[in-house]
Amino acid sequence: MHTDIVGSNLSNPNKGLYMSLAREIAPHLPLLRRYARALTGAQTSGDAFVAAALEAIVARPEEFPTALAPRAGLYQIFHRIWSSALIEDGGEESAPAPRKVQERLRRLSPLSRQALLLTTLENFTPQETGEILGRTPEEVSALLDEALEDLNAQTRARILIIEDEAVIAMDLSDLVTGAGHDVCAVESTASGAVAAAKRERPDLVLADIQLADGSSGIDAVRDILSAFAVPVIFITAFPDRLLTGERPEPTFLITKPYSPDMVRAAVSQALFFESTGPLN
């Protein structure tokens, strides 16, 4: 997905304004697409909402919230589109989802999930999150408490960690066990990870991209997903290797250095949707 969607029907002044906005928001589109995938649980539906947001900016660039930083303004426009879709669908998700996900969605309000992802996965402050969602920082804090409590009550899992740095692997292990999950195996190579996955059949995989012995976490995940379906979260210092827009991308991607809340939120969200995030 690119920002080159300027329509031929734009007037010259509007076209110039949009092109200026396009330069400001283009660097933030990969992260918005990641967020939209996490929010909807699928790349196709997430990208559809991002495309709709870009079309809205093209149509009325003068309405872009310039009082906010470009990234926050972009997310605010996205949420206007998202909220409109929820209202039209009676408050339910517009994208199709498995029955178990729909049951969980009814127990977790869309607004609390948005607040959780914006503050943890996207690293917006409570103030910025409130501006994006049209809520006060106090309301955002209440939404976060609600989301974490509900998600932790709904999801418990056996987790495979694929990470070649021992300190990070130990930290991830402590984080997920502290959230009530079990670590079924920790592997530092692609071959070891694939063997462990087939042996343990984990409920979730946390995977780095660059592994010991020069092997690839991406290749390991492809082999695992060819054997059975399992939600995957990539935790990497090299997000650009996956957020290219040129092929199916993982639904859940965390960049290093990460925060504990970021990991816990992504784990809860991945288990919530049970999304594999296909890799081709």
Domain layout of the chain by residue ranges? 1-89, 98-154, 155-273
Q: What is the pLDDT of residues 14-49, one digit of tens each?
A: 666 668 888 899 999 989 998 888 787 778 888 999
Output the pLDDT for position 43: 81
Arithmetic mean of pLDDT, 234-258: 72
The fold of the 1-89 domain, in CATH, is Rna Polymerase Sigma Factor; Chain: A (1.10.1740)
User: Residue 7: its pLDDT value, please?
Assistant: 44
pLDDT digits (tens, 9 = 90+) for 175-230: 999 888 999 999 999 999 999 999 999 999 999 988 988 888 989 999 999 999 89
pTM as predicted: 0.59
Domain 155-273: homologous superfamily in CATH = Response regulator (3.40.50.2300)
Give the long-range contacts of residues 41-46, CB within 8 A, separation 24 or more. 41/95, 41/97, 41/101, 41/251, 41/272, 41/273, 41/275, 42/95, 42/97, 42/251, 42/273, 42/275, 43/248, 43/249, 43/251, 43/277, 43/278, 44/95, 45/94, 45/95, 45/96, 46/251
CA distance 279 to 256: 21
- Is the pLDDT at 9 greater than 50? The verdict is no
Can you tell me whether residue 262 is helix, strand or coil? helix
- The radius of gyration of the chain from alpha carbons, rounded to an integer in Å, stands at 19
User: What's the CATH class of domain 98-154?
Assistant: mainly alpha
